[in-house]
Copies of this chain bind each other. A is one copy, B any other.
Amino acid sequence: MSYAPISIEEKFTKFTEHFRPKVIAQMNDVQFKLVRVEGDFVWHSHADTDETFLILDGELAIDFRDGRVTLGPGEMFVVPKGKEHKPFAASEVRLMLIEPAGTKNTGDAGGAMTAPDDVWI
């Protein structure tokens, strides 16, 4: 039987919109989501889970109420559960989010930028 790898580059050809995570794989209850980010996201937190950012291209800033982390390609950061954060990208960033299935992109903030959380590509 032949098994197929999941290609991150190939998956990114399937969408162009910003702030709309797409699921490409799942391990137990944890999903791997690709996202394109450009501009300001909203302040939010996730009460029940940490959230992992792994940067593939570009530079992402994540603001916290008490500081900031700036991430480039090949860098990652785990935002602890309950910690308010706001991602920002001056130009387009491609990244992978790793977080439990069911995690909403806007967490407990809701609002217009909330995306469906289980869209597979």
Chain A positions within 8 Å of B, measured between CB atoms, are: 1-9, 24-28, 30, 32, 49-52, 62, 64, 66-72, 74-78, 81, 98-100
In the complex the two chains form, what is the Cα distance from A30 to B62 in whole Å? 22
Instruction: Count this chain's copies in the assembly.
Output: 2
The answer to whether A76 and B28 touch across the interface, beta carbons within 8 angstroms, is no
Point out the residue from B3, B30, B76, B100 that lies within 8 Å of A77, measured CB to CB: B3
**Sample of 14 A–B contacts (CB below 8 Å):** A1-B66, A2-B68, A3-B62, A3-B67, A3-B68, A3-B69, A5-B69, A5-B76, A6-B75, A27-B98, A27-B99, A28-B50, A32-B76, A98-B98
Q: A2-B69, A6-B75, A9-B74 are in contact. List 17 more A-B contacts (CB 8 A).
A: A1-B64, A1-B66, A3-B68, A5-B76, A6-B77, A7-B74, A25-B52, A25-B78, A26-B78, A27-B51, A28-B50, A28-B81, A28-B100, A30-B30, A30-B98, A32-B52, A98-B98
The answer to whether B64 and A3 touch across the interface, beta carbons within 8 angstroms, is yes
